[in-house]
Amino acid sequence: MSDRLTRIVLAARPQGAPKASDFRIEQAPMPVPRSGQVLLRNRWLSLDPYMRGRMNAGRSYAAPVELDEVMDGGTVSEVVQSLHPAWSAGDIVLAHAGWQSHAVVDGEALRRKLDPDDLPVQTALGVHGMPGFTAYAGLHEIGKPRHGETLVVAAASGPVGATVGQIAKLQGARVVGIAGGPDKVAHVRDALGFDVALDHRADDFAEQLAAACPDGIDVYFENVGGKVFDAVLPLLNDFARVPVCGLVAHYNDTGPAEGPDRVPQLMAQILSRHLTVRGFIQHDFIALYPEFVREMGQWLREGRIRYREDIVEGLEQAPEAFIGMLEGRNFGKLLVRIAD
Amino acid sequence: MSDRLTRIVLAARPQGAPKASDFRIEQAPMPVPRSGQVLLRNRWLSLDPYMRGRMNAGRSYAAPVELDEVMDGGTVSEVVQSLHPAWSAGDIVLAHAGWQSHAVVDGEALRRKLDPDDLPVQTALGVHGMPGFTAYAGLHEIGKPRHGETLVVAAASGPVGATVGQIAKLQGARVVGIAGGPDKVAHVRDALGFDVALDHRADDFAEQLAAACPDGIDVYFENVGGKVFDAVLPLLNDFARVPVCGLVAHYNDTGPAEGPDRVPQLMAQILSRHLTVRGFIQHDFIALYPEFVREMGQWLREGRIRYREDIVEGLEQAPEAFIGMLEGRNFGKLLVRIAD
């Protein structure tokens, strides 16, 4: 094994959209585990929109990444050396080991052991991991789609949106997915089986959405914001639920949006339509996680939930892939294959 | 008994703040009950901010009042004649008989019988009625203040705000009330026993609120909107709950508010702070109503919940009193004494 690891650190806090120069790839000495720790070799790195928030100094879901520190992120990793009784060399585990080739972490911090003979291990970063659990928990605790209700979700070819729509279909809802471009729209409709798929790039997108929701919208699973939210808002029914897990259209905003100020109007709609608008991250509902792992695992083995991966080869590609994801250039769950 | 009733009808839909000429007082023939109906003589009329929404043609909580129709509203009424087996002449009842001296209603539509030897009957329109139940239900189902948490409520000398704060105190929360003018502020602090009372008219109101909430805000019971909401928003803690039952500061808005558009910022706060913002009316939680009547009745008899009434004499005063209420000129629950 090399005595150096490769890692990608935050070189500068982005102004608006991140640039390649906001990241720096570097070598560092291979760390050595102490008692209770494990040395990991990272195989897969997950790239997710929430990471954009961590690049800012301000308040986000969690503490920001510091300058010159390794970018954080979920990984599927192999245990190389274990000084923790629960883990053994050769175990494949779900970890949060960041944008790097290797890492030393506390054995307690490893999430779960993965069985390469069951599902593809990298699904633990997508449909069977954090994005899938975001969909599952947000529907279970906030969205609560009922049989015959209409659910709308954007980024519908992405790992959260695709899973939201498919779970809601299993629960008997009518599902409208929104995506960018004809390939994604076709995938959402044909491969994922949504009732309707729409392209948000269409000039008459708002009219198309209204036509696709003749009975209004009962659940809007919010992961993008922007003009999709604007088109959804007038269609929300009384007692509609809006779980808010992301606002990727705004992550690169640098200043206030053009007026008029629509906050009074939004609050008036929340009141007059008895809306529930609730922000969450999957960790808020972590008590559901074991049930999710079991139920989603079963759905995946039975082929009742489908997923698509967008795989990038090599850690050094991570910054460009991440930048592209914020522009909607990925098609499916974005993963970096760091090593076999 | 006269063969005519007196009533106040909607003469014109207001543009912005209602004017006296938007109402018209008129006489009409005394209606005659049919089988299953009762003839009521109204003693007390409740004036409430929600009525402003009913004066518009657009969507509000409920269908609008039509032009030339009687303004609707809750009443405490005496049964004059009953053709319904559940009610007898002389009963004092909680009804929704509108801005008029008499009414014929279905016996089924009467809410409950009131005992004049127990609590003052007009409390069924205030602390022991719809506004009190709005406070009770909004806290029980959405706000859920916990011991040691900080709750903020505006219009704190009004029937909803005063009751919200006092119930939250009973539940162990630290309560900050906001009112307009020194008399109301003193009442909120001294008579109602809130921990802090602030005047929203102060130039440095936002700074005063921040100073009054050193541990942030866990529950903001929204009944006004406007600059109070603006001052609250940056102080909301992670997992804060915002029950939205009214937005009286905006009821007379005639056009969009000046920019920038703060909707993206509001949604970002909902996400990053895991906020729950939920609109409701008390009827959404009607299953709780019997428990409310019992528990609030007990609190009132024990003097654990206090209330203040602002009584106007005579139905003909209702329009001016209502107009004043929307400007914050009432001090306590606004009631019109129609007859003894």
pLDDT tens digits, one per residue of A211-236: 999 999 999 999 999 999 999 999 99
Please report, for the domain that includes residue B313, its CATH number: 3.90.180.10
In a domain, A298, yes or no: no
Question: A277 with A270: CB under 8 angstroms?
Answer: yes
The whole-angstrom distance between residue A265's C-alpha and the CA centroid of its chain comes to 30
One domain for residues B44 and B56: yes
Question: A271 with A265: CB under 8 angstroms?
Answer: no
A74-83, A276-285, B80-89, B253-262: least confident range: B253-262
In a domain, B288, yes or no: no
One domain for residues A150 and A29: no
Task: Report pLDDT for B259.
Answer: 86
- Tally of CB atoms within 10 A around B59: 14
Task: Report pLDDT for A1.
Answer: 62
Contacts A–B by Cβ distance under 8 A: 137
One domain for residues B158 and B175: yes
Candidates B277, B283, B285: best to mutate against A (most CBs of A within 10 A) is B277
Written as one string, the DSSP assignment of A95-108 is E---SBSEEEEEGG
CA distance A277 to A279: 7
Question: In the predicted model, what is the mean pLDDT of residues A153-159?
Answer: 95
Residues in A closer than 8 angstroms to B261, CB to CB, are: 256-263
* Residue type, position B314, single letter: G
List the alpha helices (DSSP H) in chain B. Answer: 50-54, 130-138, 159-170, 182-186, 205-212, 226-232, 263-272, 289-301, 318-326
CA distance A185 to A331: 11
Q: Does B125 touch chain A if contact means CB atoms closer than 8 Å?
A: no
Q: Does B262 touch chain A if contact means CB atoms closer than 8 Å?
A: yes
Residues in A closer than 8 angstroms to B280, CB to CB, are: 274
Q: Does B266 touch chain A if contact means CB atoms closer than 8 Å?
A: yes
Residues in B closer than 8 angstroms to A224, CB to CB, are: none
pLDDT above 90: residue A67: yes
Question: In the predicted model, what is the mean pLDDT of residues A189-204?
Answer: 97
Run of H or E residues at A166: helix A159-170
Structural domain that includes position B22: 4-126+308-337
Please report, for the domain that includes residue A166, its CATH number: 3.40.50.720
One domain for residues A134 and A244: yes
Q: Does B81 touch chain A if contact means CB atoms closer than 8 Å?
A: no
Q: Does A247 touch chain B if contact means CB atoms closer than 8 Å?
A: yes
Run of H or E residues at A229: helix A226-232
In a domain, B300, yes or no: no
One domain for residues B65 and B136: no
Domain count, chain A: 2
Look at phi and psi of residue A317 and say left if phi exceeds 0, alpha if psi is from -120 to 50, else beta. Answer: alpha
One domain for residues B135 and B223: yes
Task: Report pLDDT for B60.
Answer: 54
ipTM: 0.92
Task: Report pLDDT for B257.
Answer: 87
Question: A44 with A53: CB under 8 angstroms?
Answer: no
What's the pTM?
0.93
One domain for residues B172 and B243: yes
- Are A225 and B264 a contacting pair at CB < 8 A? yes
- Are B272 and A61 a contacting pair at CB < 8 A? yes
In a domain, B292, yes or no: no
One domain for residues A114 and A136: no
Give the tens place of pLDDT for each residue, B95-143.
Answer: 999 999 999 999 999 989 999 999 999 999 999 999 999 999 999 999 9
Quote the Cα angle for B227-B232-B238, to 5°.
Answer: 155
Tokens of A283: 């960790």
Task: Report pLDDT for A60.
Answer: 54
In a domain, A264, yes or no: yes
The overall average pLDDT reported for chain A is 95
One domain for residues A254 and A180: yes
B155 pLDDT band, cuts 50/70/90, is very high
One domain for residues B213 and B241: yes
In a domain, A303, yes or no: no
- Are B272 and A229 a contacting pair at CB < 8 A? no
Q: Are strands B75-82 and B92-95 parallel, antiparallel or unpaired?
A: antiparallel
The overall average pLDDT reported for chain B is 95
Q: Does A276 touch chain B if contact means CB atoms closer than 8 Å?
A: yes
One domain for residues B122 and B139: no
Handedness of CA B39, B42, B43, B44 (dihedral sign): positive
Chain B residue with the nearest C-alpha to that of A225: B264
Task: Pick B262's closest partner by Cβ from A59, A261, A279.
Answer: A261
**In percent, how much of chain A has pLDDT > 70?**
99
One domain for residues B62 and B202: no
CA distance A49 to A246: 8
- Are A256 and B258 a contacting pair at CB < 8 A? no
Task: Pick B267's closest partner by Cβ from A225, A261, A275.
Answer: A225
Beta strands in chain A (DSSP E): 4-10, 23-29, 37-46, 75-82, 92-95, 102-106, 112-114, 150-153, 174-179, 196-199, 217-221, 236-244, 276-279, 309-313, 333-337
Task: Report pLDDT for A61.
Answer: 56
- Tally of CB atoms within 10 A around A227: 13
